[in-house]
Amino acid sequence: MRWIVFVIVMLILIAVCLWAVQPAAAQQRFMYRQGVAQQKASHAAIHRIRGHVGGSLGGYRYEGIGWSSHSPQDAIRRCCYWGKRRPGQIGVQRGPDGVWYATVLYQ
């Protein structure tokens, strides 16, 4: 079961990465969106925030946050709205406490 979840998460990450490798003209219009989820996850991990960190959603409508001491995939799966909304960006970072912090931005 964990292997299936891992494969699904990897496919989503690949899709997000492929979206990021658009022609330069398209990237200029959406440049501010790149990495917002990762920045939020990194901020939460560094400061050990187990909640919303605030700030811009980078043009997305919803934000889900999750954390897990088991794996990055488990942290993503625990994010609000996971499986209910279409993810646009996913960011995961391991904190100094060993916990994985995830932020998912949804369309």
Question: Model confidence at 89, in pLDDT bands (50, 70, 90)?
Answer: very high
Is the distance from CB of 94 to CB of 69 less than 8 angstroms? Answer: no
pTM for the full model? 0.68
What is the Cα–Cα distance from 95 to 49, expressed in whole angstroms?
10
Position 83 pLDDT exceeds 50 = yes
CA atoms within 13 A on the CB side of 6: 5
For 46, the domain range is 2-106
For residue range 4-45, list pLDDT tens digits in order: 877 777 777 676 665 554 444 433 333 333 489 999 999 999
For residue range 65-77, list pLDDT tens digits in order: 999 999 999 999 9
The domain tally of the chain equals 1
